[in-house]
């Protein structure tokens, strides 16, 4: 019981001294390769307030990432930012993805991307610099999955890309 009292006290003190909206900066990106459909389906989750800040500072705008308060052109800037900060490449060359849109849930924005007509590949390189231009301590977690193969890793500003060796079925 004493342990829980100390823990609660410690958590209260650390959150009282936290001047930011949250203590850590993390995005999570799921990349799902569906070989039968020759697609990569990508969902990236970032904190809404951080993503709003980076879009506004980078493009000198005053957008609000709040449903019903958004302007139509926000998607142009979101896509532009993603294309600059999130890059995919296979051993066959760079991949072009489609920005499909976004969805809000609690304090997160879900960003949906897709690569279609993906040729057979053995290596997928992921570069993720999302939010690293705003937060030095930003971490971007990547989860890659295809059938029974899974690989996860964390990227950051100074270590922004990593390759996954994956042998597709011929």
Distance CA 59, CA 2 (A): 51
Q: What is the pLDDT, as a whole number, of residue 150?
A: 95
3-state helix, strand, coil in the chain (%, to 5): 25, 40, 35
Tell me the residue ranges of DSSP E strands in the chain. 26-34, 39-47, 86-90, 93-94, 98-105, 108-115, 123-128, 139-146, 149-156, 161-165
Comparing 18 with 46, the larger pLDDT belongs to 46
Instruction: Give the global pTM.
Output: 0.83
- Per-domain boundaries in the chain: 22-165
Q: What is the largest CA-CA distance in the chain?
A: 60
> Residues 90-138: pLDDT tens digits?
999 999 999 999 999 999 999 999 999 998 899 999 999 999 998 889 9
Residue 156 has pLDDT above 80, yes or no: yes
Residue 13 has pLDDT above 70, yes or no: no
Q: What are 156's two structure tokens? A: 């950051």
DSSP 120: P
Name the nearest CA neighbour of 87 among 50, 124, 119.
Answer: 124
Q: What is the pLDDT, as a whole number, of residue 89?
A: 97
Comparing 92 with 166, the larger pLDDT belongs to 92
Q: What is the pLDDT, as a whole number, of residue 155?
A: 96
> Residues 35-64: pLDDT tens digits?
999 999 999 999 999 999 999 999 988 888
């Amino acid at each position: 019981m004493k342990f829980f009292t100390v823990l609660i006290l410690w958590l209260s003190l650390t959150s009282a001294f936290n001047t930011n909206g949250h203590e850590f900066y993390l995005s999570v990106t799921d990349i799902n390769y569906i070989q039968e459909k020759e697609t990569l389906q990508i969902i990236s989750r970032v904190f809404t307030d951080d993503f709003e800040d980076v879009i506004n500072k980078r493009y000198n705008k005053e957008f609000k990432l709040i449903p019903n308060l958004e302007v139509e052109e926000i998607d142009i800037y979101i896509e532009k930012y993603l294309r600059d900060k999130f890059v995919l490449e296979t051993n066959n060359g760079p991949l072009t993805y489609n920005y499909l849109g976004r969805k809000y849930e609690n304090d997160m924005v879900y960003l949906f991307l897709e690569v279609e007509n993906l040729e057979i590949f053995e290596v997928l390189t992921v570069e993720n610099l999302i939010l690293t231009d705003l937060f030095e301590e930003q971490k971007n977690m990547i989860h890659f999955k295809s059938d029974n193969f899974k690989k996860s890793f964390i990227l950051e500003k100074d270590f922004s890309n990593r390759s996954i060796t994956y042998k597709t079925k011929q």
